[in-house]
Amino acid sequence: MSLHALESTYQPPVAAAEDMSGREEDSIAQGIGKVLRELRKQKDLSLNDLAHRSGVSRSMLSQMETGRSIPSVLVLCKIARSFDVPVTVFLKPDNAENPSFVSAEETPLRISADGKCAWRTLMPEGPERKTEFYELTLRAGGIEQVQPYAQGVKANLALSEGSLFVALAGQRHRLTAGDVFEFAASVPHSYINPGNEEALAYLVLRHQQRLV
């Protein structure tokens, strides 16, 4: 969705405490693997079939199914598109048998004061939530300054389209389409679009404690 078509008022995503424990990461990996395995069986696909269909390697799919690997946001998006299901199916494994659909017009949207950056919430709010998932759209020349989150909060940014700089701790990290950048979000940071086209990215924030 183009940022030109979006309307709302921007408020920065709310941060909570520290990073997830290894136990929770294992639980997420197992949950994603379970959902993937069930979806693949429903479609009667082999791992090779799914690899060809999604563009994700067979070895990665195998590691995901066995809970040995937590994929990037871009990998999850590729797999979700191949099954024609929302990507949140993998992040809410308990609801995998009954996927929910929310239209683009209904998802919470926040736009910066200068109109150059939009945050679209891709994960429903809930009392058990420890993860935030956003679609981030930044117009050409746009700069989005983000206040630090609580100590220990981790960010995983996957760039889908365009180019982007992440300014962090006095350094600029350049991303091009397909790149994934993970960093500690507990320090001030900025997203900068140096190109002539919109940049589209997906951002996952991981917290230790549940969000209020």
In a domain, 14, yes or no: no
The boundaries of the domain holding residue 61 are: 22-95
Q: Is residue 87 part of a domain?
A: yes
- Percentage of the chain modeled with pLDDT above 90: 41
109-163 pLDDT tens trace? 889 999 999 998 887 665 556 788 899 999 999 999 999 988 888 899 999 999 9
205: its two tokens: 């924030």
Domain contains 15: no
Q: Which residues contact 144 (CB under 8 A, 6 or more apart)?
A: 112, 116, 117, 136, 138, 190, 191, 192
Distance CA 72, CA 157 (A): 9
Same domain for 88 and 147, yes or no, is no
What tokens does 94 get? 């308990």
Query: How many helices (H) and strands (E) are present in the chain, helices listed first?
Result: 5, 10
Q: What secondary structure, in 3-state letters, does 55-121 show?
A: CCCHHHHHHHHCCCCCCCHHHHHHHHHHHCCCCHHHHCHHHCCCCCCCCCCCCCEEECCCCCEEEEE
Note whether 51 and 57 are within 8 A (CB): yes
Which of 79, 95, 111 represents a domain boundary (last residue)? 95
Average the pLDDT over 34-48 and give the result: 90
Residue recorded with tokens 């099954």: 83
- Computed over every residue of the chain, the mean pLDDT equals 81
pLDDT score at 126: 56
> Would 195 be classed as within a structural domain?
yes
Is 64 within the bounds of a domain?
yes
Of the residues 43, 74, 95, the one at which a domain ends: 95
CATH number of the domain that residue 83 is part of: 1.10.260.40
Confidence check: pLDDT of 47 > 70: yes
| Confidence (pTM) | 0.59
One domain, residues 81 and 112: no
Asked if the model's pLDDT at residue 23 lies above 80, the reply is no
Q: Which residue has the higher pLDDT, 85 or 187?
A: 187
- Count: domains in the chain: 2
Tell which residue, 158, 206, 167, 204, has the closest CA to residue 189. 167
**Residue 81 token pair:** 């598109």
Is the same domain home to 118 and 202? yes
pLDDT of 132 = 86
The answer to whether position 89 is within a domain reads yes
Domain final residue pick, 95, 124, 153 = 95
Distance separating alpha carbons of residues 116 and 144, to the nearest angstrom: 8
Task: Find out whether 48 and 134 touch, Cβ atoms under 8 Å.
Answer: no
